[in-house]
Amino acid sequence: MRLRRRPTSSVAVLVIAVILVILRLAAPSSPPVEDLFDETDVTVKRAVDGDTLLLASGQRVRLIGVDTPETKRPDWPVEPLGKEASRFTTELVGNGPVRLEFDRERRDQYRRLLAYVYLPDGRLLNEEIIRAGFSKAVTHFPYRSDRKRLFVAAEKAARAEGLGLWATGDTIPATPR
Protein backbone atom coordinates (compact mmCIF):
# COMPACT_ATOMS: atom_id res chain seq x y z
CA MET A 1 0.00 0.00 0.00
CA ARG A 2 1.26 3.40 -1.02
CA LEU A 3 1.04 6.36 1.30
CA ARG A 4 -0.12 9.63 -0.19
CA ARG A 5 1.57 12.78 0.92
CA ARG A 6 -0.67 15.67 1.67
CA PRO A 7 0.23 18.69 -0.40
CA THR A 8 -0.20 21.10 2.53
CA SER A 9 2.97 23.05 1.88
CA SER A 10 2.12 23.55 -1.80
CA VAL A 11 -1.42 24.63 -0.97
CA ALA A 12 -0.18 27.02 1.71
CA VAL A 13 2.27 28.65 -0.70
CA LEU A 14 -0.45 28.97 -3.33
CA VAL A 15 -2.90 30.54 -0.85
CA ILE A 16 -0.28 33.03 0.33
CA ALA A 17 0.59 33.94 -3.26
CA VAL A 18 -3.08 34.54 -4.12
CA ILE A 19 -3.54 36.72 -1.02
CA LEU A 20 -0.48 38.79 -1.90
CA VAL A 21 -1.71 39.32 -5.46
CA ILE A 22 -5.13 40.40 -4.20
CA LEU A 23 -3.59 42.81 -1.70
CA ARG A 24 -1.31 44.26 -4.38
CA LEU A 25 -4.23 44.80 -6.76
CA ALA A 26 -6.36 46.37 -4.02
CA ALA A 27 -3.62 48.80 -2.93
CA PRO A 28 -3.61 52.28 -4.45
CA SER A 29 -1.39 52.56 -7.50
CA SER A 30 0.84 55.13 -5.84
CA PRO A 31 0.84 56.69 -2.41
CA PRO A 32 0.30 60.45 -2.08
CA VAL A 33 3.46 62.39 -2.85
CA GLU A 34 3.69 63.90 0.60
CA ASP A 35 3.87 60.44 2.17
CA LEU A 36 6.99 59.53 0.21
CA PHE A 37 9.26 62.54 0.11
CA ASP A 38 10.23 65.72 1.91
CA GLU A 39 10.22 67.32 -1.52
CA THR A 40 8.99 66.31 -4.93
CA ASP A 41 8.59 67.65 -8.47
CA VAL A 42 5.01 68.01 -9.71
CA THR A 43 3.08 69.64 -12.55
CA VAL A 44 0.65 72.47 -11.87
CA LYS A 45 -2.66 72.30 -13.69
CA ARG A 46 -3.64 75.85 -12.67
CA ALA A 47 -3.57 78.40 -9.89
CA VAL A 48 -6.88 78.28 -8.03
CA ASP A 49 -6.17 81.70 -6.52
CA GLY A 50 -3.21 83.58 -5.12
CA ASP A 51 -2.26 81.04 -2.46
CA THR A 52 -3.63 77.72 -3.74
CA LEU A 53 -2.58 75.53 -6.67
CA LEU A 54 -4.31 72.63 -8.37
CA LEU A 55 -1.86 69.95 -9.47
CA ALA A 56 -2.20 67.80 -12.58
CA SER A 57 -2.76 64.89 -10.15
CA GLY A 58 -5.90 66.62 -8.83
CA GLN A 59 -4.39 67.47 -5.43
CA ARG A 60 -4.64 71.00 -4.08
CA VAL A 61 -1.61 72.74 -2.59
CA ARG A 62 -1.89 75.59 -0.07
CA LEU A 63 1.23 77.73 0.18
CA ILE A 64 2.75 77.81 3.67
CA GLY A 65 3.06 81.27 5.22
CA VAL A 66 0.91 82.99 2.59
CA ASP A 67 -2.69 84.27 2.75
CA THR A 68 -3.72 86.29 -0.29
CA PRO A 69 -7.04 88.13 -0.53
CA GLU A 70 -10.04 85.88 -1.20
CA THR A 71 -11.44 85.41 -4.71
CA LYS A 72 -13.18 82.01 -4.70
CA ARG A 73 -15.23 81.77 -1.49
CA PRO A 74 -18.92 81.61 -2.43
CA ASP A 75 -19.99 83.20 0.88
CA TRP A 76 -17.42 86.00 0.74
CA PRO A 77 -16.98 88.87 -1.72
CA VAL A 78 -13.86 89.11 -3.85
CA GLU A 79 -11.41 91.07 -1.73
CA PRO A 80 -9.27 93.97 -2.95
CA LEU A 81 -6.18 92.74 -4.82
CA GLY A 82 -7.53 89.18 -4.86
CA LYS A 83 -7.71 89.00 -8.63
CA GLU A 84 -4.29 90.59 -8.97
CA ALA A 85 -2.77 88.09 -6.52
CA SER A 86 -4.36 85.23 -8.43
CA ARG A 87 -3.06 86.58 -11.74
CA PHE A 88 0.44 87.04 -10.23
CA THR A 89 0.53 83.41 -9.08
CA THR A 90 -0.83 82.20 -12.42
CA GLU A 91 1.87 84.11 -14.30
CA LEU A 92 4.64 82.65 -12.15
CA VAL A 93 3.56 78.99 -12.15
CA GLY A 94 1.51 78.71 -15.35
CA ASN A 95 0.81 75.05 -15.84
CA GLY A 96 4.40 74.00 -15.59
CA PRO A 97 6.60 72.05 -13.26
CA VAL A 98 7.31 73.13 -9.68
CA ARG A 99 9.07 71.54 -6.75
CA LEU A 100 7.14 71.08 -3.53
CA GLU A 101 8.93 71.05 -0.21
CA PHE A 102 6.98 69.95 2.85
CA ASP A 103 7.20 70.93 6.49
CA ARG A 104 6.05 69.20 9.66
CA GLU A 105 2.33 69.51 8.86
CA ARG A 106 1.59 67.95 5.48
CA ARG A 107 -2.12 68.79 5.16
CA ASP A 108 -4.51 71.45 6.42
CA GLN A 109 -8.03 71.05 7.77
CA TYR A 110 -9.38 71.00 4.19
CA ARG A 111 -7.01 68.14 3.23
CA ARG A 112 -4.92 70.40 0.96
CA LEU A 113 -1.19 69.75 0.81
CA LEU A 114 0.81 72.39 2.67
CA ALA A 115 4.03 73.23 0.88
CA TYR A 116 6.77 75.62 -0.04
CA VAL A 117 6.67 75.87 -3.84
CA TYR A 118 9.85 76.36 -5.82
CA LEU A 119 9.69 77.65 -9.38
CA PRO A 120 11.89 76.11 -12.12
CA ASP A 121 14.35 79.01 -11.78
CA GLY A 122 14.79 78.25 -8.06
CA ARG A 123 12.74 81.13 -6.67
CA LEU A 124 10.40 80.38 -3.76
CA LEU A 125 6.83 81.20 -4.86
CA ASN A 126 5.68 81.75 -1.27
CA GLU A 127 8.32 84.46 -0.80
CA GLU A 128 7.67 86.04 -4.22
CA ILE A 129 3.97 86.53 -3.46
CA ILE A 130 4.76 88.21 -0.14
CA ARG A 131 7.58 90.30 -1.65
CA ALA A 132 5.17 91.55 -4.36
CA GLY A 133 2.81 92.73 -1.62
CA PHE A 134 -0.04 90.29 -2.24
CA SER A 135 0.12 88.69 1.22
CA LYS A 136 1.26 89.36 4.74
CA ALA A 137 3.81 86.93 6.14
CA VAL A 138 1.57 84.51 8.03
CA THR A 139 3.65 83.46 11.05
CA HIS A 140 1.14 82.18 13.61
CA PHE A 141 1.14 78.62 12.26
CA PRO A 142 3.97 76.22 13.12
CA TYR A 143 6.53 76.03 10.33
CA ARG A 144 10.28 76.44 9.91
CA SER A 145 11.65 79.52 11.67
CA ASP A 146 14.13 80.24 8.86
CA ARG A 147 11.19 80.49 6.46
CA LYS A 148 9.28 82.73 8.87
CA ARG A 149 12.27 85.10 8.96
CA LEU A 150 12.49 85.02 5.16
CA PHE A 151 8.78 85.79 4.78
CA VAL A 152 8.85 88.60 7.39
CA ALA A 153 11.80 90.16 5.54
CA ALA A 154 9.88 89.91 2.25
CA GLU A 155 6.87 91.61 3.85
CA LYS A 156 9.08 94.41 5.23
CA ALA A 157 10.51 94.95 1.74
CA ALA A 158 7.03 95.12 0.19
CA ARG A 159 5.89 97.57 2.87
CA ALA A 160 8.98 99.76 2.39
CA GLU A 161 8.39 99.86 -1.38
CA GLY A 162 4.64 100.45 -0.97
CA LEU A 163 3.71 97.40 -3.05
CA GLY A 164 0.36 95.62 -3.27
CA LEU A 165 -1.44 95.65 0.05
CA TRP A 166 0.76 98.50 1.23
CA ALA A 167 0.33 100.74 -1.81
CA THR A 168 -2.32 102.75 0.06
CA GLY A 169 -1.75 101.42 3.58
CA ASP A 170 -4.51 98.81 3.28
CA THR A 171 -4.17 95.33 4.72
CA ILE A 172 -6.06 92.15 4.07
CA PRO A 173 -9.48 92.33 5.80
CA ALA A 174 -10.07 89.79 8.55
CA THR A 175 -11.50 86.67 7.00
CA PRO A 176 -13.43 84.18 9.13
CA ARG A 177 -12.04 80.69 8.66
* pLDDT tens digit at each of 177 positions of the chain: 565 655 566 777 777 777 766 766 665 554 455 555 676 899 999 999 999 999 999 999 999 999 999 887 778 887 888 899 999 999 999 888 999 999 989 999 999 999 999 999 999 999 999 999 999 999 998 898 999 999 999 999 999 999 999 996 444 443 333
Catalytic residue among 70, 131, 147, 155: 70
Q: How far apart are CA 67 and CA 50, in angstroms?
A: 8
Let me know if 123 is a catalytic residue.
Answer: no
DSSP string, 22-80: HHHHHS-SS--HHHH-SEEEEEEEEEEETTEEEETTS-EEEETTEEPPPSS-TTSPPPT
Q: Which of 5, 60, 62, 87 is catalytic?
A: 62
Number of H helices, E strands in the chain: 5, 7
- The catalytic residue among 104, 107, 112, 128 is 112
CA dihedral 106, 125, 33, 177 (to 10 degrees): 40
Is 62 marked active-site? yes
112 a catalytic residue: yes
CATH of 33-164, one of 1.10.10.10, 3.40.50.300, 2.40.110.10, 2.40.50.90: 2.40.50.90
pTM of the model: 0.74
